[in-house]
Amino acid sequence: MYHPDILDNPASLRHPESCPALILNADYTPLSYYPLSLWPWQTAIKAVFLDKVDIIDSYDRAVHSPSFTMQIPSVIALRQYVKPSEYPAFTRFNLFLRDKFACQYCGSEANLTFDHVVPRRQGGGTSWENVTTACLQCNLKKGGRTPREAHMQLMLNPHRPTSWQLQERGRAFPPNYLHESWHDWLYWDIELEE
Ligand SMILES: [Zn+2]
């Protein structure tokens, strides 16, 4: 079975000039939202030639070789369905997204960092269940203590979100760059971009 890797969306791939292709699953939903499933155009064209994907939409730009000319695909769909994972990857972005980009102690949206609720020194792990979004001030104030020791109250206890929950959150936080041909295939409210 053809199992596509989802790249970690390096900044270069999100740049319009790099012509990334949005990858849809065989049911025409994005293969992944966080990170958004994108491939470099080279990978997309290779998959087309391997008959692994269908081209749904294309960029205006084309690539040329001595033997062929091809519009660069902007949206492609896998021919074989890949079961999406129930839980999203534990990444910085996803953690901020879970916490709506707000400090879970005071609600501030500035100078955000991560806080180990149970400090590492006291055996707290780096996991969905023990890391929360905190502003720098709250982080410094809390220091190497538990919330109880520091007399600080968490708004929400950290938990591992499902992919579905994170997608719901993501409606309010669309990525910076979306090619127009992707709009029909994405879940979030595009009018926020206007
Ligand atoms: Zn704070």
Q: What is the pLDDT of residues 163-191, one digit of tens each?
A: 889 888 887 776 667 788 887 777 544 44
Per-residue pLDDT at 16: 61
Distance from Cα 106 to the centre of ligand 1, integer Å: 4
Distance from Cα 87 to the centre of ligand 1, integer Å: 27
Per-residue pLDDT at 190: 44
Q: Which helix (H) or strand (E) holds 98?
A: helix 92-98
Could you say which residues of the chain have pLDDT below 50?
A: 1-3, 7, 188-194
Per-residue pLDDT at 170: 80
Distance from Cα 151 to the centre of ligand 1, integer Å: 13
Distance from Cα 166 to the centre of ligand 1, integer Å: 22
Domains of the chain: 11-83+165-193 (no CATH), 92-150 (1.10.30.50)
Distance from Cα 103 to the centre of ligand 1, integer Å: 5
Per-residue pLDDT at 194: 37
Q: How far apart are CA 75 and CA 71, in angstroms?
A: 11
Would you call 193 helix, strand, or coil by DSSP? helix
Per-residue pLDDT at 151: 97
pTM of structure? 0.70
Q: Are 20 and 38 in contact (CB under 8 A)?
A: yes
Distance from Cα 175 to the centre of ligand 1, integer Å: 24
